Amino acid sequence: LRFTMHLSIFLSALALLPTTLAQLSGSVGPTTNTRAKTTTKTCDITAYGAKADKTTDIGPPLAAAWAACQNGGVVDGNMIMIRDTTDFEFFSSTGKGAIQGSNGYEVHKAQGQCKGARLLRTYRVTNFSIHDVVLVDAPMYHLVMDSCTNGEVYNMAIRAGEWGCLDGIDLVSNNIHIHDVMITNKDECVTVKSPSKNILVENIYCNWSGGSAIGSLGTGTAISQVVYRNIYTWKSNQMFMIKSNGGSGYLEDVVLENFIGHGNAWSLDIDQEWSSMSKIEGNGVQLSNFTIRNWKGTEANGASRGPIKLNCADGAPCTDFKITDFAMWTETGNKQ
Ligand SMILES: *[C@@H]1O[C@H](CO)[C@@H](O)[C@H](O)[C@H]1NC(C)=O
Ligand SMILES: *[C@@H]1O[C@H](CO)[C@@H](O)[C@H](O)[C@H]1NC(C)=O
Ligand SMILES: *[C@@H]1O[C@H](CO)[C@@H](O)[C@H](O)[C@H]1NC(C)=O
């Protein structure tokens, strides 16, 4: 984890710059700090019957610990889904904690695509953080944030099997800051879905991954104010993709800056006729006001998959796109 720690230090230096939070609409994270919560009460799930023996169902102990701490405090243990709460923090107090998705890779292999439990899902949670925890081998997606507000996700490692549907982080949310995360998997790295706004994603390492994306986008897409920066992508499907086929609505005010990639199939891949998705009704999602700058590195084979692909919807042509300081070259052959 030394790599992410270095990035954290780098981030603190950057935090002095007023631009750092430009994309967010206000503060993120819980309103009560960890020390204050620990002083209130600690509800350790092992005191309520949880055992790390691969057979005991932690559901009832978790519910009991949660009930015991319902007026504030810290619940110690592994959690699966958190919903309808506020001022919430999910973390490993030693920074060494990991949640193992119970042979997720095997479950996934046996059941085929997209079946199984999400490792960690938050739903309608506000003022929260998730940090210093490792997620390993989910049966399906690793961290999904749905309809959440004012969240911070940081100092995490995610390690999945090399299959589809093992997404790292997916979010459909408002005012979320994700930073200092490394993900090894074979589907989405950090992906924003509709509706979302005020999203800042920075200092991310996508390793042998599907790569990060926005999408796939459907009818009534509403996504704005999204920044991805300092994204390192290695041997993945793409460095960044926007995917749709038909549909309607908008995706606007997007910044994709300071990307480095090597060994990836696609680099910048905006595809509004994405063939993996059947065409849906609508003239296309309107993409506007994009700033894409400072992309460096190499792509696997520039002749077959060039570093910039912009395939905008015929019925909703991309507007106000600025692509600058884009320096990438092919690893195979001598043209791109
Ligand atoms: C979330 O935090 C913000 C300020 O940080 C506060 O204004 C708001 O009331 C909080 N929301 C809830 C539901 O507690
Ligand atoms: C990157 O992924 C490869 C292939 O799964 C793995 O061997 C390697 O350990 C990963 N690197 C890191 C830093 O996690
Ligand atoms: C374009 O997007 C940037 C980044 O979100 C924002 O600062 C700027 O105000 C937007 N420009 C317009 C004309 O909306």
pLDDT, one tens digit per residue, over 213-229 is: 999 999 999 999 999 99
98 in a structural domain: yes
pLDDT of residue 147: 98
* Ligand 1 nearest atom to the CA of residue 127, by list position: 1
* Ligand 2 nearest atom to the CA of residue 207, by list position: 1
> What is the CB < 6 Å shell around ligand 2?
184, 207-208
Query: Residue 138: pLDDT band by 50, 70, 90 thresholds?
Result: confident
How far is the C-alpha of 184 from the C-alpha of 157, rounded, in Å? Answer: 8
Give me the mean pLDDT over the 69-81 stretch.
66
175 and 37 belong to one structural domain: no
Q: List beta partners, residue 188.
A: 211
Say how many Å lie between the CA of residue 226 and the centre of ligand 1: 21
280 in a structural domain: yes
pLDDT of residue 21: 60
73 and 218 belong to one structural domain: no
Ligand nearest to the CA of 175: 1
**Closest C-alpha to ligand 2, atom 13:** 207
**Closest C-alpha to ligand 3, atom 5:** 253
100 in a structural domain: yes
Reply yes or no on whether the pLDDT at 246 is more than 70: yes
65 and 203 belong to one structural domain: no
* Ligand 1 nearest atom to the CA of residue 126, by list position: 13
- Pairing of β 221-234 and β 196-207: parallel
Ligand nearest to the CA of 234: 2
316 and 176 belong to one structural domain: yes
**Percentage of residues in the chain with pLDDT exceeding 70?**
87
pLDDT of residue 105: 67
> What is the CB < 6 Å shell around ligand 3?
225, 253, 255, 289
Number of domains into which the chain is organized: 2
Nearest residue to 185 via CA among 92, 101, 306: 101
200 and 251 belong to one structural domain: yes
335 in a structural domain: no
* Ligand 3 nearest atom to the CA of residue 23, by list position: 5
Higher-pLDDT residue of 27 and 328 is: 328
How far is the C-alpha of 203 from the C-alpha of 186, rounded, in Å? Answer: 19
185 and 67 belong to one structural domain: no
Give me the mean pLDDT over the 283-300 stretch.
98
The model's pLDDT over 148-176, given as tens digits with 9 standing for 90+, comes to 999 999 999 999 988 888 899 999 999 99
pLDDT of residue 116: 67
245 in a structural domain: yes
50 and 141 belong to one structural domain: no
List, by residue number, the catalytic residues: 187, 262
Say how many Å lie between the CA of residue 127 and the centre of ligand 1: 6
Say how many Å lie between the CA of residue 242 and the centre of ligand 2: 25
Q: Write out the residue range of the structural domain in which residue 38 sits.
A: 32-77
The model's pLDDT over 111-126, given as tens digits with 9 standing for 90+, comes to 566 666 788 999 999 9
Give me the mean pLDDT over the 189-209 stretch.
98
Higher-pLDDT residue of 233 and 46 is: 233
The model's pLDDT over 78-102, given as tens digits with 9 standing for 90+, comes to 446 888 999 999 999 888 888 887 6
CATH number where 208 lies: 2.160.20.10
Say how many Å lie between the CA of residue 148 and the centre of ligand 1: 12
Q: Is the CB of 216 under 6 A from ligand 1?
A: no
pLDDT of residue 36: 80
49 in a structural domain: yes
Reply yes or no on whether the pLDDT at 20 is more than 60: no
Give me the mean pLDDT over the 193-210 stretch.
98
